[in-house]
Each structure stands twice: as C-alpha cells, then as structure tokens.
C-alpha cells in the first residue's frame, strides 16, 4: 500500500488544488545567493508585484515582507527570536498534504537529508536554527468542519500560545479552527496566523472535479485510496466557500479585528499572447493569471494584512519545484512580521 500511495502522490492531478507535488529530477540554484537583491531587480520585482490591486480597506505589506526576505541577516533579531520562543508554531498542510508528509517521513528514515520530497522541511530548519518550538498538524483530508476540528484540538493541546502557518486548503481549515476557538472563548490560545495561498474564495480546479463526471469519479476513488474524502474537494468550490463566508461573516469580521493575520497571495503571470486572448474586467484590466488557476484575490481575507507576490506558483512555498524559491528566506520574513505584530499587541 505504501508503494501505491507514492505512485498516486506523484501523478494525482488533484495536487493542483493544494497538495504539493515533488520534483524528483534536477533543481535550480538561487538566482540571488546573497542576502541582497540588486536595486534595479528589486524595483522590477516591486513593479510586478504591484500589478495586483488588493481589496480596499486592508493593508498591503508586500514591501515589509520583501525587505525582510532579502535582508535575511537582520530579519530574525535576538529580540524577535525571544518573542517567537514564547510561542509554538503549528504548521498546517494543504489537501492531501498528510500523504506527502507520510512519504517524507518514510524517505527521511532512509536518508534524513533527502530532498526528493521536502514538504515543509525548509520551514522546520529555520525553526530549529532559532530554537523555536513547532509541530506539524497532520490530519486526514476531510471536510472543512472535520479538519478544522482537528486543528482546533491541536491548538488546545499546546501549553504555549500558538502561531499558525497554513497553506492552501489548510488556510480554509485553519480559519474554521480559529472560528471554533473563538466561539468557545479560546481565541487567546492563538497569537497570530500566516495564511499562505489560501483558497478562501474557492478553487476553480475543485469546481471542475465536482461538476465533471469523469473527474468526479476519479476524484472520489483517488481520495478514498489516499485516505481522504471527496467532500474535502466539494468544500473548496467557489459556491461552497461563498456560502461559508456568508454564514460566518460576523464571526470573521470580529476575528480579523482581534487577531494578527497575514495573508499571502501569489500568481503566475500570463504570457502576452494569453493576456490578449482573455476577457478583461470591468475596469478594462487583463487577468493576472489563467482563470483555471487559484486567483490571488481568493487568498486574502478581508480586513487582514496581505503580501502579494508575482511569479510564485501554488506549491513552491512548501516544497521544492522546478523554479527555485527561497523558502527559508520566506519563513524568516513571515516570522519577523509575526514577532513584530505579536510583540506590539
């Protein structure tokens, strides 16, 4: 059964919804191995990032994130580390991420330094280097309600206040977990949250699996074999997410007022020819990415701080991919931002 799980993990198209796919052959070295990005390149990067216009009334903190990202030597100061050590970080995986983590554990037993599948390894390295306590919350890919309940239970088991870092569907599950804690009067157990590439407004791929008969049949079987539930995918459709947010609108409004939250939105830019062929929005602007991809606005909760980054795909923030991304620098940047917000409460 382990070999069957590994094969399915490598080929399962459902991974596009939020389960990170490993890259087995080859990798790229960091384009900028030094801590500093050349000023001209940084300006171009800022211009690309600024193509996304976030919702009104929330704070764009992309500049803050980028500064910490490229000034790694000063991101985690002793003062910030001291703040972070008072907390425990909980890492929450995306759809079928529990399978990826299971395969990773198996491969780590063979070679602890393996990078065939390094899901969340870079983040964990940063925590260990700085003496920050952490835990992976591993739960089956079930409905948002069930997954959220498991995450809430993990938070309640912690003796320290918790800092949550989630990815993809894990962001939707984490939101549900925090709302459950808020309803119980236990919101003080959570000190801050980084939601990376969440699907708060739903994923187009999930909708295609639910509505397309062939894909739906495949998805039901595949999820069952992997130990999950197809209802986890149903919960990621734009329709399901819209209903959830309408139902919990007041609770979410109160939550974002009380809890420091940083949302990360990313997109892979279109080629010029693709931009011409796709419909423009009401303001006449072309789309930033393909309609079949998770849109950057889907990753932002209204009322939160947000980071918007161009040219980053949905999986590279948690696992090695064809295109290099410095996940250690990203992790240090987010930790620095959390430390400042937690310390300033």
Q: Looking at 159-168, 318-327, 333-342, which range is the least confident one?
A: 318-327
Tell me which residue of 230, 198, 86, 92 sits closest to 150, measured CA to CA. Answer: 92
Residue spans per domain, the chain: 59-271+285-343
Least confident of 33-42, 57-66, 300-309: 33-42
Q: Under DSSP, is residue 60 helix (H, G, I), strand (E, B) or coil?
A: strand
Q: In the structure encoding, which two tokens stand for residue 239, read together?
A: 């329709």
> Is-contact 206 17, C-beta < 8 A?
yes
103/315 Cα distance (integer angstroms)? 17
Residue 298 tokens read as 């889907």
Percentage of the chain beyond pLDDT 90 is 72
Q: Give the pLDDT band of residue 36 (cuts 50, 70, 90).
A: low
Element (H, E) at 47: helix 39-49
For residue 30, pLDDT over 60 is answered with no
Q: How far apart are CA 283 and CA 270, in angstroms?
A: 18
Residue 161's CB is within 10 A of a number of other CB atoms, namely 15
> Phi then psi for 261, rounded to 5 degrees?
-130, 135
At residue 266, the 3 state secondary structure works out as strand
Lowest mean per-residue pLDDT among 40-44, 93-97, 191-195: 40-44
Give tens-digit pLDDT for 272-284.
Answer: 767 667 777 666 6
* Six token digits for residue 145: 């309600």
- Record the tokens describing residue 85, joined without a space: 């050590």
Q: What pLDDT score was predicted for residue 138?
A: 93
Q: Which residue has the tokens 């969340």?
A: 120
pLDDT at 6 exceeding the cut of 60: no
Q: What is the pLDDT of residue 145?
A: 98
Q: How far apart are CA 232 and CA 328, in angstroms?
A: 30
pTM metric for this prediction: 0.89
Token reading at 67: 């500064």
For the CA atoms of 146, 148, 149, 152, the dihedral, rounded to the nearest 10 degrees, stands at 170
Asked whether the predicted pLDDT for residue 5 surpasses 70, the reply is: no
Which pLDDT belongs to residue 25? Answer: 38
Is 26 a residue whose pLDDT tops 70? Answer: no
Q: Could you give the CA distance from residue 318 to residue 119 in angstroms, rounded to a whole number? A: 6
pLDDT band at 99 (very low <50, low <70, confident <90, very high): very high
Q: State residue 327's pLDDT score.
A: 95
Task: Please say if the pLDDT value at position 203 is more than 80.
Answer: yes
Residue 286: Cβ-neighbour burial (10 angstroms; 0-12, 13-18, 19+): middle
Max CA pair span of the chain: 55
Residue with tokens 């609770």: 251
Confidence (pLDDT) at 161: 98
Instruction: Encode 200-216 in three state secondary structure.
Output: CCCCHHHHHHHHCHHHH
Separation between Cα atoms, residue 290 and residue 182, nearest integer Å: 36
For domain 59-271+285-343, give the fold. Answer: Rossmann fold (3.40.50)
pLDDT in the model for residue 48: 92
């Amino acid at each position: 059964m382990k070999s069957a799980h590994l094969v399915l993990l490598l080929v399962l198209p459902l991974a596009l919804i939020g389960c990170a796919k490993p890259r087995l052959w080859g990798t790229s070295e960091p384009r900028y191995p030094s801590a500093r990005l050349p000023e001209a390149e940084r300006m171009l990067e800022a211009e690309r990032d600024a193509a996304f216009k976030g919702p009104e009334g929330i704070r764009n903190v992309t500049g803050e994130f980028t500064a910490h990202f490229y000034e790694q030597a000063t991101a985690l100061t002793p003062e910030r580390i001291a703040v972070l050590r008072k907390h425990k970080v909980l890492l929450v995986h995306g759809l079928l991420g529990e399978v990826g983590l299971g395969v990773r554990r198996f491969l780590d037993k063979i070679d602890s330094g393996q990078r065939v599948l390094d899901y969340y390894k870079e983040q964990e390295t940063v925590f260990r280097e700085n003496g920050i306590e952490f835990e992976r919350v591993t739960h089956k890919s079930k409905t948002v309600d069930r997954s959220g309940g498991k995450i809430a239970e993990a938070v309640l088991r912690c003796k320290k206040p918790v800092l949550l870092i989630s990815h993809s569907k894990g962001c939707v599950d984490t939101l549900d977990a925090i709302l459950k804690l808020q309803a119980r009067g236990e919101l003080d157990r959570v000190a801050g949250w980084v939601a990376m590439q969440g699907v708060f407004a739903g994923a187009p791929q999930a909708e295609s699996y639910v509505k397309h008969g062939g894909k739906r049949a495949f998805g039901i079987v595949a999820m069952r074999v992997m130990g999950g539930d197809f209802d986890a995918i149903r919960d990621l459709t734009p329709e399901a997410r819209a209903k959830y947010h309408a139902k919990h609108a007041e609770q979410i409004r109160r939550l974002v007022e009380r809890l420091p939250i940083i949302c990360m939105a990313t997109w892979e830019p279109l080629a010029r020819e693709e931009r011409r062929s796709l419909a423009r929005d009401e303001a006449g602007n072309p789309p930033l990415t393909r309609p079949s991809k998770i849109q950057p606005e889907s990753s932002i909760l209204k009322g939160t701080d947000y980071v918007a980054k161009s040219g980053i795909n949905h999986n590279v923030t948690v696992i090695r991919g064809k295109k290099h991304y410095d996940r250690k620098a990203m992790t240090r940047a987010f930790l620095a931002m959390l430390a400042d917000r937690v310390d300033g409460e």
